[in-house]
Amino acid sequence: MIDVLVVDDDFRVAEINAMYVGKVPGFRVTARAHSAAQALAAVERTPVDLVLLDHYLPDRTGLELVHHMRERGHGTDVIMITATGDVATVQAAMRLGALHYLVKPFTFTALRTRLDSYAALRRTVERVGGRGVAGQEQVDRIFGALRTTPAASSPGLPTGHSEPTTDLICGVLHRAGQPLSAHEVALRTGLSRSTAQRYLRRLEQVGRLRLSLKYGDTGRPEHRYAWVAP
């Protein structure tokens, strides 16, 4: 298994990214951090293979964290996941050895493409590494393992719906272990009740949730939604 540290100052975004990682075979999230200090402490406490790193953190930037990690001897691989798309930051990330740079917002498919190429890189290095010295062909194979093709947008989502929000709601219901109302989902996700209701109806229509009715004293039933295991 490839151990991953997810770093993002937004708790909900970190949850979504961790959920994405958990859906990719061969990867597991072993820790989450919401600041550079927490991330460094996590790396020093339990070494990880890969850091999915946001750039804007409350105490320092992601690139400053990478530089500090390198100074302290941590060669942990890094994939940047950030809304920062300016060329200077991208170049700085490359110089510090970031293997990929994914700009928010992105789809699960886009992240999985990068993770799959990273896994391919590790397999290639392991195969070539057994020979001691790599020739040009082996070096080209190592660099080629990181090449990716543009990921297509996730199909099937109606206008006004996003994949991260869909996954956030699904994650809440999956962990709940019991049916939840739109109001309860809104509280647990930080979304408005109307937004939660809109997504819940769509997920129920496509068979990812099961709808049940709970009758109270008012006579008007409460709609409750439960996760349907695939």
pLDDT of amino acid 228: 77
What is the b/e burial string over 83-117, where b = at least 16 CB atoms within 10 angstroms of the residue's CB?
A: ebeeeebbebbeebebbbbbeeebbbebbbbbbbb
pLDDT of amino acid 51: 97
Separation CA 222–CA 220 (nearest Å): 7
- Per residue in 195-208, pLDDT (tens digit) is 899 889 888 887 78
Asked if the model's pLDDT at residue 216 lies above 80, the reply is no
Separation CA 230–CA 227 (nearest Å): 9
pLDDT of amino acid 147: 67
Q: What is the mean pLDDT of the segment spanning 70-74?
A: 92
Q: Who's near 140: CB < 8 A, 6+ residues apart?
A: none
Higher per-residue pLDDT: 217 or 5? 5
Higher per-residue pLDDT: 158 or 7? 7
Mean pLDDT value across the chain: 84
Band (pLDDT 50/70/90 cuts) for residue 86 is: confident
Dihedral angle computed from the Cα positions of residues 37, 70, 11 and 122, in that order, rounded to the nearest 10 degrees:
-150
Q: What percentage of the chain has pLDDT greater than the value 90?
A: 39
pLDDT of amino acid 149: 47
pLDDT of amino acid 153: 39
Q: Which residues on neighbouring strands pair with residue 50, listed in sequence order?
A: 4, 77
- Per residue in 128-153, pLDDT (tens digit) is 665 566 667 767 766 776 665 444 33
Separation CA 128–CA 115 (nearest Å): 20
What is the b/e burial string over 45-76, where b = at least 16 CB atoms within 10 angstroms of the residue's CB?
A: eeebbbbbbbbebeebbbbebbeebeeeebeb
Within 13 A of 169's CA, how many CA atoms are on the CB side? 31
- Per residue in 5-54, pLDDT (tens digit) is 999 999 989 999 999 999 888 899 999 999 999 999 999 999 899 999 99
- Which range (68-77, 187-196, 201-210) has the least confidence? 201-210
**Residue 132, φ and ψ in degrees, nearest 5:** 85, -55
Q: Which pTM does this prediction carry?
A: 0.63
pLDDT of amino acid 152: 39
